[in-house]
Chain A
Amino acid sequence: MNESRPATRAGAVAASRTDYASSGHLKAEVRGLNFFYGQRHALKNVELPIPERTVTALIGPSGCGKSTLLRCFNRMHDLYPGNRYEGEIVLQPSGVNILSPAVDPMEMRLRTGMVFQKPNPFPKSIYENVAYGLRLRFVNKRSLLEERVEAALRSAALWDEVKDRLHQSAFKLSGGQQQRLCVARALATGPEILLLDEPTSALDPIATSRIEDMIFTLKEQVTILMVTHNMEQAARVADFTAFMYLGELVERGATSQFFQNPQNELTEKYLTGSFG
């Protein structure tokens, strides 16, 4: 369903996008993105390619704009008045500019999944939490729901722990389990991009490593963009890492090179702990 939908919106997309559609291995590309919270210029001319089925990590000190950038991908900023985008985030292969005013933000959110800093399960059963996004898409057939819920819980490495209590409240799960439930909830609808906003910042080390293992397997199914405040975590799970500072994207590269041989002086200072 995801592939066919944007065609109706394609009128909003400039014809010049065809050169990106042919590149194939990119899932998305951020081009000349500026973002404003009212008067505050929070993202400055950001350029970022996101290769398909890889993990891209955004790192940088607090307030550098990494979460702001992540939240552009599903137009979360549209929920609050006074926010403004300039530039493009082009989704491939459809070539849709996510930020175009002609694109319905709800439509974009149907094609992306997001996991937040703190687990935020709904006050419903485990099963209904995962089924929530499917029901929004008018999936109501019981057998299909059950199948998709199970698949999502398996992908989030939670199935074995909850399969006997699917109809219990999600609040009875531990923090780490709740966060994996939120991942399952985001995965159930088959998103094209999974956005993770510091997904382990509220978790203990064991729960964190389970989430990291899960991310490692998940990238076979879905393109992942994650924000992390933890450089080691980026080094462990990301294929590409980008460093942001004061709203600018300073440097981006393959993770091993990025950490061993940063090109920019600022990046090097940040990695060696001189500031941040």
Chain B
Amino acid sequence: MRETREWTAFLTLAAAAVSSVFITALIVVVLLHESGSFFRAPEVSGQIWRFFVDTTWAPTSDPPRIGILPLVSATIMTTLIALVVALPIGTVVALYLSEFAPFALRETIKPSLELLSAVPTVVYGYFALTFVSPILRWLIPGLPQANMLSAGIVMGIMIIPYVSSLSEDAMRAVPMLLREGSYALGANRLMTAWKVVVPSALSGIGAAYILGISRAIGETMIVAVAAGMQPRFTFNPTAQAQTITAYIVSMSQGETPHGTMGYQSIFAAGLVLFVMTLAFNVLGFWLRRRYHQTY
């Protein structure tokens, strides 16, 4: 009787643990399978190299142009703009909350900051389009309403709590003993924070950055609404351009028949997105192991 109960518990828990691995594997299989049909399509198969070098993305036109670079360039640009906003602000906020803010203030700021990540991203998208973009257009004449700059900036605001919250946890995990060692030598708070706490928390801060980057690459609604819908190979932040995720959204609006070039191109684009985020997660994993410090 007890044996059976033990086994039931074991199997239930094991199934729960395995399911996430199984689902991930399934997603990869579907991605590979469907993008396989894209690359085997007669219009594509002879010129797969174009996928990586062609600067025009129009898979549904005749003949199709299949260069992924325009989508990749827009993804990279919006992500970079978001990081320029989120990493410095997020780090400074974390440093302030962990090392300088009085207890009561920290307990107020931290939850309200985390509330930022509870805002639906589509709201951020329209915030970018109808609030940030007009301001930028006033500052930069000739800026189109949809542009990568405003989408990137708002995406950066969205990522701040991811970066600051995790970085702050990492900084707070630095033992008081290390800070006392620095204070005992006559250092002030800023010195201690900058020279002792930040280097000690480096692996955690790095992990927070990587999470922010992955989040920015995968973000969909903000860029779909505010960055534009035309694939364009450009690194000009004031241009409008379509990211990988925005392309997937635009193609998956229910009118793309199964088995067509348009349908299969979604998966090819999805595979590229998957490889990009995977690369960052692997980098993050490696960073954590490389710089991890146990106390």
Chain A residues engaging chain B, CB cutoff 8 angstroms: 74, 76, 79, 106-107, 109-110, 112-114, 116, 118, 120, 122-124, 132-133, 136-137, 171, 182, 185-186, 189, 195
Contact in complex: B186, A136 (CB < 8 Å):
yes
Question: Closest 4 interchain pairs by CB?
Answer: A110-B186, A114-B184, A133-B185, A120-B181
A132, B178: Cα distance in complex, Å: 13
Q: What separation, in Å, do the CA atoms of A118 and B183 have in the docked complex?
A: 16
Inter-subunit contact B196/A122 (CB<8 Å): yes
CB atoms of A123 and B199 under 8 A apart: yes
Asked if B180 contacts A79 (CB within 8 A), the reply is yes
> Are the C-beta atoms of B184 and A106 separated by less than 8 Å?
no
Inter-subunit contact B183/A136 (CB<8 Å): no
Contacts A120-B177, A133-B185 supplied; 20 other A-B pairs, CB < 8 Å: A74-B184, A76-B180, A76-B183, A110-B186, A112-B184, A114-B181, A114-B184, A116-B181, A116-B184, A118-B177, A122-B182, A122-B195, A123-B199, A123-B202, A124-B199, A133-B186, A136-B187, A137-B186, A171-B293, A186-B185
Q: How far is the CB of B103 from chain A (nearest CB, A)?
A: 9
Residues of B within 8 A of A113 (CB): 184-185
Return chain B residues, CB-CB under 8 Å to A137: 186
B191 within 8 A of A: yes
Query: How far, in angstroms, from A124 to B191 measured CA to CA in the complex?
Result: 14
Measured in the bound complex, the distance between the Cα atoms of B178 and A79 in whole Å is 13
Report B109 CB to chain A, min CB distance, Å: 19
A109-B186 contact in complex given A123-B293, A124-B199, C-beta closer than 8 Å: yes
- Minimum distance in angstroms from B127 CB to a CB of chain A: 39
Q: Which residues of B contact A123 (CB under 8 A)?
A: 196, 199-200, 202, 293
Given contacts A132-B195, A136-B191, A171-B293, A120 and B186 within 8 Å (CB-CB): no
Could you give 29 example pairs across A and B, Cβ below 8 Å? Answer: A74-B184, A76-B180, A76-B184, A79-B183, A106-B188, A107-B186, A110-B186, A112-B184, A114-B181, A114-B184, A116-B181, A118-B177, A120-B178, A120-B180, A120-B181, A122-B182, A122-B200, A123-B196, A123-B199, A123-B200, A123-B202, A123-B293, A124-B199, A132-B185, A136-B185, A137-B186, A182-B181, A186-B185, A189-B186
Chain B nearest CB from A148 CB (Å) reads 13
Q: Which residues of B contact A120 (CB under 8 A)?
A: 175, 177-178, 180-181
Chain B residues engaging chain A, CB cutoff 8 angstroms: 175, 177-178, 180-188, 191, 195-196, 199-200, 202, 293
The answer for the CA separation of A136 and B195 in the assembled complex, in Å, is: 11
Count of A-B residue pairs with CB < 8 Å: 65
Partner of B177, one of A109, A116, A136: A116
Query: What is the CA–CA distance of A60 and B182 in the complex, to the nearest angstrom?
Result: 28
Taking each of B195, B202, B293, which has the highest tally of chain A beta carbons within 10 Å of its own beta carbon?
Answer: B195
- Is B180 within 8 A of A185, CB to CB? no
Contacts of B185 in A (CB 8 A): 109-110, 113, 132-133, 136, 185-186, 189
Complexed CA–CA distance, A107 and B186 (Å): 7
Most chain A CB within 10 A, of B177, B183, B188, is at: B183
Output the nearest chain A residue to B178 by Cβ-Cβ distance.
A120
| A132, B195: Cα distance in complex, Å | 9
Which residues of B lie under 8 Å from residue A112 when comparing CB positions?
184
A255 to B265, CA, bound (A): 85
Shortest Cβ gap from A103 to chain B (Å): 13
Contacts of A171 in B (CB 8 A): 293
Give the shortest distance, in Å, between B196 (CB) and chain A (any CB): 5
What residue of chain B has the Cβ atom nearest to residue A189's Cβ? B185
* Closest CB in chain A relative to B6 CB, distance in Å: 41
Q: Complex Cα distance A74/B185, Å?
A: 10
Cα distance A189–B182 in the bound complex, in angstroms: 13
Contact call A106/B186, Cβ cutoff below 8 A: yes
Q: How far is the CA of A124 from the CA of B195 in the complex (A)?
A: 9
Considering the chains assembled together, what is the distance between the CA atoms of A76 and B7 in angstroms?
Answer: 55
Which residue in chain A gives the minimum CB-CB distance to B184? A114
Interface centre among A113, A116, A122, A186, by most chain B C-beta atoms within 10 angstroms, is: A122
Residue of A nearest to B103 (CB): A81
Question: A123-B293, A132-B195 in contact; A116/B187 too (CB < 8 A)?
Answer: no
Q: Which residue of chain A is the closest to B291 with respect to CB atoms?
A: A123
* Nearest-Cβ distance from residue B100 to partner chain A, whole angstroms: 13
Point out the residues of chain A lying under 8 angstroms from B175, CB to CB: 120
Q: Could you say which residues of chain B place their CB within 8 Å of the CB of A195? A: 184
B181, B187, B195, B199: residue with the most chain A Cβ atoms closer than 10 Å:
B181
**Min CB–CB distance B36 → chain A (angstroms):** 47
- State the Cβ distance, B182 to closest chain A Cβ, in Å: 7
Tell me the complex Cα distance, A224–B87, Å: 46
Chain A's closest residue to B186 (CB) is: A110
Inside 8 A of A110's CB, which chain B residues have their CB?
A: 185-186
